[in-house]
């Protein structure tokens, strides 16, 4: 896991920060601090970050509304 993925996860999770539990908020703040110091996350931290990312970001299917707007 690289620095780019780490940045991507953190920027996406900032949108959902208000939904976090107190423990998740603490972890997220520590991740942000470590990111500001430009540290690479170890495997445990990266797995926690990925688990949070998977929990809060869902790939929703975009509905096709073409049948409504036919001419």
Domain ranges of the chain: 3-51
Per-residue pLDDT tens for 17-32?
999 999 999 999 999 9
The 3-state DSSP class for residue 20 equals: coil
* pTM recorded for the entire structure: 0.75
- How confident is the model at residue 16, as a pLDDT? 92
Per-residue pLDDT tens for 30-45?
999 999 998 888 999 9
DSSP-assigned letters across all residues of 42-64: -HHHHHHHHHHHHHH---PPPP-
Quote the mean pLDDT of the chain. 88
Residue 20 contacts residue 48 (beta carbons within 8 Å): no
């Amino acid at each position: 896991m690289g620095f780019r993925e780490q940045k991507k996860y953190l920027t996406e999770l900032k949108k959902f920060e208000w939904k976090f539990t107190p423990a998740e908020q603490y972890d997220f703040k520590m991740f942000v601090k470590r990111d500001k110091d430009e540290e690479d996350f170890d495997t445990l931290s990266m797995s926690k970050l990925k688990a949070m990312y998977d929990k809060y970001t869902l790939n929703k299917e975009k509905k096709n509304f073409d049948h409504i707007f036919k001419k």
